[in-house]
Amino acid sequence: MILEVAFFQVDPQRDPDFREAIHAASPIIARARGYLGHTVHRCQETPGRYLLLVQWQTLADHLEGFRQSSDFQLWRGILGPFFLSPPIVEHYDLIYPESYSIYSHSK
């Protein structure tokens, strides 16, 4: 599994519209080959900053599958007008597969 991590900066005045747009764009990315799920988080400290986390089966599913598809053009067409700067996108491998919580390890 690959985790795509993307940071978006949007105009804080357009937050409500961006939130509607990300909701509208979600089914587009969800139908991509190798897509496993995603979440979107809004930053508490920096107005207009969002974090998108997408789980893919493989890196190729994201870079060669989705990013080179017409669905990516549609997805980017919905979200792109909101970006104040190009998104920062990185990919991560899972190295510690178990969820850890202080509550699950208490005596």
* pLDDT number for residue 94: 87
Q: Please report the DSSP string for 38-105 in residue order.
A: EEEEE-SSSTTEEEEEEEES-HHIIIIIITTSHHHHHHHHHHGGGBSSPPEEEEEE-S--S---TTTT
Topology of the domain comprising 13-47+64-92 = Alpha-Beta Plaits (3.30.70)
Q: How far is CA 50 from CA 44, 77, 88, 102, in A?
A: 9, 17, 11, 27
Q: Check pLDDT > 70 for residue 100.
A: no
**51: which 2 tokens?**
């974090």
* pLDDT number for residue 97: 73
* pLDDT number for residue 59: 97
Mean pLDDT of the chain, nearest integer: 93
* pLDDT number for residue 103: 65
Domain extents for the chain? Answer: 13-47+64-92
16-60 pLDDT, tens digit each: 999 999 999 999 999 999 999 999 999 999 999 999 999 999 999
Over residues 73-99, mean pLDDT: 93
pTM of the complete model beyond 0.85: yes
* pLDDT number for residue 106: 52
CB 7 within 8 A of CB 50: yes
Q: Check pLDDT > 60 for residue 105.
A: no
